[in-house]
Amino acid sequence: MVILLPGLGLLALLGGTALLAWRAWRRRQHFAPLRRLPSPPGLPLLGHLPAVLAAVRRKRFFQLLHDWSQAYGPAYVYWAGRPVLVLSRPALIESAIVQGMRSGCLIRSPAMRRAWNDMRGPILIGEEGAEWQWRRRSWNPGFTAASTAAHLPLLEQASAQVLERIAQAPAGQAIALDPLFVEMAMRVIATLMLGIPLQAGAESPEGPRLDVARAYQAMGVLGRRFFRMATGESPWMKYLPTRTSLAYWAARRQLEDLLAPRVALALRLREGNAGEEAGLSPLFRQSLLVRIAAREPRYDQDSLLAETIEFLIAGTDTTAHTLSFAAGTLALHPDVLARVRQEVDQAWERHGGLTPACIGALDLVRGVIRETLRLFSVASGSTALQVVKPTHLEGVGRVPVGTTVTWSMQGAGRDPEAYPRPLEFLPERWLPGGPEGPAPPMIDFGSGPHRCIGEHLAMLEATVMLAQLLRHTTWELVNGPASLENQRQNLLIYPADGMPVRVRRRGEAGWS
């Protein structure tokens, strides 16, 4: 007995080691097709996990993916527990999303979906199949090009408010553009979605006032929670009494206080409670919330609340940061700025202001926005795919089940095949019938069925804001190119310094 026990222990140890070795061998065999793809040097056992975690901590994760794509080409693999295939050529990304999902070999990453749906409850971007379809169908009519065009007066008013805020700053004082754009974008989506008046401080009878700073802070907390969940945090962690989870619940409550009364009211209107209508503002009665609630009986208080939070988040930072990078890039390219300004001046004068016809003539402004998105793809990290059936990806080869497929949007935006002279800022490449031939691929609003529903709104909003800035002001970057280079990257990409500028009214004495 005394001799047997150590013998058994040794046997168990050997058995365990053999099992682990066998499993490692099986895994190696399973993922062998990926080993022929380039891969950055990694550590034994840990692979690339330390490098990835360090980049996430420094808020430079997308930069890391981009640096690797520069070094290892348009399809490379890194290992972080599981293999992750990173694509950085627009054609490869589109084909993986569209063909891969159509064939059923790739699905949207379950981890990302869980992270989206656990932010406040199931939402459009986190859903699939029938659950996604009825949601998307109910919102689509509110975001077509035609229905978005009807918001031109609102967008003009919102951008005029930004100009007013700039004008209030003492002459020569630096002013951060990004917070101004954030406020504008949030007020716009809150007006459209919830019928909250655009004007800061204005009351509405349907619920509390919008406090932009508080709401933005709460959205940031939810966004960071999404990011933690997407990178491996368990859903139950939010129930632990930690500072992070307390902040999460506080942020949720804050947004719910703003939104829940309006959602409840919209649902009561759906039930035909005519008595409720008296005293409601026209803005609220025309809001997307009321129209969607009326159209889609499957929404209840909880699900509509979650969706409203999603739209508020999705519609704020994305457009705002794009505008900041556009203004920053223009400041560094006076030749481009002069050409775009000329387009704005001519269209403005010909059409007597920011009319629909004037907006229609601003192709180069739209080119600036697309070119900015190509170089600063603000929504780089919203999703990834998972291989669930063995597949053969175009330009990559065989990809085994269990591989995560993701992309470097910065890498894709600098792909010389898709965008000749990729490092130059050339908005003309987006002109209809432009110098480079047919329009290049535009993947920064996503691809496939989940492509951004707010694309028309974002494009129109950014066009109106840039046109106003170009028409009425000139600006210079306080921190020069550093404002564009020094980015923070977590869920989105944004300028770390808030894009401070010195702005002057055009034509003022001493101004160019």
Distance of closest approach, residue 223 Cβ to ligand HEM, in angstroms: 14
- DSSP labels for 418-459? TSSSTTS--GGGGSTT-TTSSPPP--TT-SSTTS-TTHHHHH
Look up residue 500 and give its DSSP letter.
E
Span of 313-321, 357-365, 386-394, 474-482 interacting with ligand HEM by CB under 6 A: 313-321
42: left (phi over 0), alpha (psi -120 to 50) or beta: beta
Alpha-helical regions (H) of 195-300: 212-230, 243-270, 274-277, 282-285, 288-295
Closer by beta carbon to ligand HEM, 370 or else 472: 370
Residue that has been written with the tokens 């009878």 in this structure: 205
Show Cβ contacts of residue 393 under 8 Å, excluding neighbours closer than 6 positions: 75, 85, 92, 95, 96, 100, 399, 405
Judged by CB under 6 A, does residue 368 bind ligand HEM? no
Provide the mask over 371-410, with x wherever binding to ligand HEM is found by CB under 6 A and - wherever it is not.
Answer: --x----xx--xx---------------------------
Rg, C-alpha atoms of the chain: 25
Q: Cβ distance 478 to 501 under 8 Å?
A: yes
Q: Name residues contacting ligand HEM, limited to 115-144 (CB under 6 A).
A: 124-125, 136
Judged by CB under 6 A, does residue 327 bind ligand HEM? no
Span of 298-306, 388-396, 441-449, 480-488 interacting with ligand HEM by CB under 6 A: 441-449
Which phi and psi (to 5°) does residue 372 adopt? -65, -45
Residue least distant from ligand HEM (Cβ): 454
Judged by CB under 6 A, does residue 314 bind ligand HEM? yes
- Cβ-in-10-Å burial (0-12, 13-18, 19+) of 290 comes to buried
Size of the site for ligand HEM (CB under 6 A): 25
- Considering only residues 453, 460, 477, 503, which one is a binding residue for ligand HEM as defined by CB under 6 A? 453
- Considering only residues 254, 308, 322, 474, which one is a binding residue for ligand HEM as defined by CB under 6 A? 322
Closer by beta carbon to ligand HEM, 136 or else 285: 136
Judged by CB under 6 A, does residue 503 bind ligand HEM? no
Report how far residue 101's alpha carbon sits from residue 324's, in angstroms, rounded to the nearest whole number: 34
Judged by CB under 6 A, does residue 491 bind ligand HEM? no
Provide the mask over 140-179, with x wherever binding to ligand HEM is found by CB under 6 A and - wherever it is not.
Answer: ----------------------------------------
Report how far residue 193's alpha carbon sits from residue 154's, in angstroms, rounded to the nearest whole number: 13
Report how far residue 425's alpha carbon sits from residue 443's, in angstroms, rounded to the nearest whole number: 17
Show Cβ contacts of residue 423 under 8 Å, excluding neighbours closer than 6 positions: 414
Which residues are registered as beta bridge partners of 92?
Answer: none
Distance of closest approach, residue 44 Cβ to ligand HEM, in angstroms: 34
Span of 427-435, 443-451, 473-481, 503-511 interacting with ligand HEM by CB under 6 A: 443-451
CA 28 to chain centre: 35
- Considering only residues 163, 457, 467, 503, which one is a binding residue for ligand HEM as defined by CB under 6 A? 457
Where does this chain bind ligand HEM (CB under 6 A)?
Answer: 124-125, 136, 189, 310-311, 314-315, 318-319, 322, 373, 378-379, 382-383, 444-446, 450, 452-454, 457-458
